Amino acid sequence: MEKLVLFNNTTLNKLLNKRSGESKFGEHVQLLSNISNIYEQLKNLDVTHVIIGLPEDIGVFANYGKSGTSKAWEFTIKTLINIQSNSFTKANKVLILGHLDFTSELLEASKLNQTKNKDIQKAREIVKNIDEYVSHVIQQIISAGKKAIIIGGGHNNAYGNIKGTSIALNNPINVINFDAHSDFRDEEGRHSGNGFSYAYNEGFLKNYFIFGLHENYNSKEIFTTLNNLKSIQYNTFEALEIRKELKFKDEINRALKHIANKPFGIELDCDAIENVPSSAMTPSGFSVKKTRRFVNHFGKQKNACYLHICEAAPTKKTATQVGKLLTYLITDFIKA
């Protein structure tokens, strides 16, 4: 666990804006005091949700994408701890674990980015190492009987989430992915576009449902692959929101039937939400309200093991907005 940096009181107090007459979320969350035996500590704590940050964008770079997803964690955590603590937000049931520190990997990747041929293969090797750390920390959280809330990073981390959860439960798991892309691309070395195909082919992922695929941004080959696999179901954004051939509520129920009968993960890619600064930002996507309803609906299911929010790439200008959006999604999952 040498990558794990615990979220401690010093960091908390630096980011907390206390106000008299108000009680902030950060004043009531639980923290771990030391790094040894995370699993034992979590198991003995009366919390339901554990929050962990994965500040990296190497998987996005390894997929020829636009970097910036490494920034989402710091802005989100700052916003989250400063919301109100009340009977709705249940702060005392939440533990903020901290984040995995990928500074050296990010440095290595930025050097690769500057070389003439942008050594993508090397970047994919780094992603493979990141996978190990992610799956290890997720395994600890799930084994301890807690629900994980994972703030990305790129969507490459879906693989570590699925693998870690699957190993903890000693069974393959199901996943619902709210996403414009299937991320089920070829196993050509690890990156943000093939976390699910790797997890599926290695036996960690069983049933997979992709909610809201964009018809313009998934290849013919991908659709052929998806259509040939019985354990994969999907719908498209256009069928739901543009042509109105499908009803949102009906599709949520169809997805539930496909994945909710056994432990499952909720993957949420911010590029599916309209106008959210992300590695593949879209002018046409789901509204924030629909996205929140989606998280609430799947978060209510007893088999929901984790929520992973990824691919948000805030700039200085959009940092507050992104932090607020991710905080809404986190608290929707906790309240569900």
Query: pLDDT at position 50, please?
Result: 98
As a whole number of angstroms, the distance between CA 156 and CA 172 comes to: 18
Query: Residue 224's Cα: distance from chain center in Å?
Result: 26
The mean pLDDT values, 10 residues at a time, for the chain of 336 residues are 92 97 98 95 98 98 93 98 97 98 96 83 97 98 98 97 98 98 98 98 98 98 98 98 98 98 98 96 97 98 98 96 98 98
Query: Is the C-alpha dihedral spanning 324, 325, 330, 333 positive or negative?
Result: positive
Query: pLDDT at position 172, please?
Result: 98
Compute φ and ψ for 184, nearest 5 degrees. -120, 40
Q: Which of 21, 14, 24, 161 is nearest to 92 (CA)?
A: 24
Domains of the chain and any CATH numbers: 4-335 (3.40.800.10)
For all residues of the chain together, what is the average pLDDT?
A: 97
pLDDT 10s digits, 123-139:
999 999 999 999 999 99
Query: pLDDT at position 115, please?
Result: 80
Query: pLDDT at position 118, please?
Result: 76
Query: pLDDT at position 1, please?
Result: 59
pLDDT 10s digits, 92-109:
999 999 999 999 999 999
Q: What is the dihedral of CA 164, 168, 172, 177, to 10 degrees?
A: -50
